[in-house]
Amino acid sequence: MSKKILLMTDIHITNHDINIIGLNPALRFRHCLEHASSYHADASHLFIMGDLTHNGSYDEYKILERLLKNQPFPVTLMLGNHDNRSAFSAVFSNRAEPFQHGSQNFGKTKIIHLDTLDDSVKNRGSGLMCMQRMHWFEYNLGLGDGPILVLSHHHMLNSGFDGLDKIRLLNGNKIAGIIAASGRCKMVINGHIHRTIFSSYKGVPHATLKSTCHQTPLLLSSNDPELAVDEPGGYGVLLLDGDTPILHHVDFN
DSSP tag of 211:
P
Measured in degrees and rounded to the nearest 5, phi and psi for residue 94 equal -110, 15
pLDDT for the residue numbered 61: 97
CA distance 185 to 166: 26
User: Tell me: the pLDDT tens digits for 153-184?
Assistant: 999 999 999 999 999 999 999 999 999 999 99
* 234, 165, 83, 212 alpha-carbon torsion, rounded to 10°: -10
Report yes or no on whether pTM surpasses 0.75. Answer: yes
Give the pLDDT band (50/70/90) at residue 243. confident
Q: What is the mean pLDDT of residues 190-215?
A: 97
- Tens digit of pLDDT for each residue in 119-155? 886 667 999 999 999 999 999 999 988 999 999 999 9
Quick: pLDDT tens for 85-97: 999 999 997 665 7
Domain extents for the chain? Answer: 3-252
- Angle at 135 (CA atoms; ends 61, 185), nearest 5 degrees: 85
CATH number of the domain at 3-252, please?
3.60.21.10
Residue 89, classified by CB atoms within 10 Å of its CB into exposed (0-12), middle (13-18) or buried (19+), is middle
- 58-68 and 25-39 helices, crossing angle to 10°: 20
16 pLDDT band (50/70/90 cuts)?
Answer: confident
List b or e across 190-208, with b for residues whose CB sees 16 or more CB atoms inside 10 angstroms: bbbbbbebebebeebbbbb
The one-letter amino acid code at 75 reads: V
Cα(58)–Cα(223) distance, integer angstroms? 31
Tell me the average pLDDT across 221-235.
92
Mean predicted confidence (pLDDT) in 115-120: 92
How many other C-beta atoms are found inside a 10 Å radius of the C-beta of residue 122?
9
Burial class from Cβ neighbours inside 10 Å (0-12, 13-18, 19+) for residue 231 reads: middle
Long-range contact set of residues 96-100: C-beta below 8 Å, sequence gap at least 24: 98/132, 99/132, 99/133, 99/136
User: How far apart, in whole angstroms, are the C-alpha atoms of residue 48 and residue 9?
Assistant: 5
